[in-house]
């Protein structure tokens, strides 16, 4: 069997309002499901860097060696950050979630129990899970 992975573009669409190109279909005969990072690396055929390609929603056709999914190829970092949802940006490491309100309150109340110079070390210290 052939162990190569082929990225086949199907239903290609250029969206000038969102500065993106949409596509994707993956053929992987004789291999397991291909990781998303490997799919993004195949982006050289679109003359872009893998960091601004977002792939998601893949469904593998059982026994067929084919996976259908969705890919967004943005024109630049700025457009990707502006138009992509935050959960996808977090997966790429482009967005850092701020701590929740409950966690901030817990840290504040933990600091109240300690005196003096021990406070900053208490904030940095993580609470063990039960």
Q: Whole domain around residue 43: which residue ranges?
A: 6-85
Question: Residue 35 pLDDT > 80, yes or no?
Answer: yes
Residue 35 within a domain? yes
Please tell me the distance from the alpha carbon of residue 4 to that of residue 28, in angstroms, as a whole number: 6
Same domain, 53 and 113: no
Same domain, 123 and 71: no
Residue 31's CATH number? 3.30.70.3370
pLDDT of residue 130: 56
Angle (CA) 49 54 57, round 5°: 150
pLDDT of residue 105: 93
Same domain, 72 and 124: no
pLDDT of residue 101: 95
Same domain, 79 and 125: no
User: b/e per residue, 80-105, with b = 16+ CB within 10 A?
Assistant: beebbeeeebeebebeeeeeeeeeee
Residue 1 within a domain? no
Question: Residue 33 pLDDT > 70, yes or no?
Answer: yes
Beta bridge partners of 53: 73
Question: Residue 3 pLDDT > 80, yes or no?
Answer: no
57: left (phi over 0), alpha (psi -120 to 50) or beta: left
Same domain, 55 and 113: no
Same domain, 19 and 64: yes
Residue 116 within a domain? yes
Same domain, 48 and 104: no
How many domains does one find in the chain? 2
Same domain, 79 and 106: no
Same domain, 78 and 44: yes
More confident residue, 3 or 108: 108
DSSP secondary structure of 71-94: EEEESSHHHHHHHS-HHHHHHHT-
What average pLDDT score do residues 55-84 get? 87
21: left (phi over 0), alpha (psi -120 to 50) or beta: beta
pLDDT of residue 64: 80
Same domain, 66 and 118: no
Q: Taking the CB of residue 48, how many other CB atoms lie within 10 A of it?
A: 16
């Amino acid at each position: 069997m052939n162990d190569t992975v082929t990225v086949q573009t199907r239903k290609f669409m250029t969206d000038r309002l969102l500065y993106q190109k949409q596509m994707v279909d993956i053929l992987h005969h004789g291999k397991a499901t291909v990781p998303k990072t490997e799919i993004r690396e195949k982006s050289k055929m679109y003359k872009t860097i893998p960091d601004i390609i977002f792939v998601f929603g893949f469904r593998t056709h059982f026994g067929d060696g084919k996976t259908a999914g969705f890919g967004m190829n943005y024109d630049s970092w700025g457009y990707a950050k502006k138009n992509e949802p935050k959960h996808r940006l977090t997966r790429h490491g482009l967005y850092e979630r701020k701590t929740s309100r409950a966690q901030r309150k817990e840290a504040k109340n933990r600091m109240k129990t300690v005196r003096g110079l021990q406070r900053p070390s208490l904030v940095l210290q993580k609470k063990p899970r039960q």
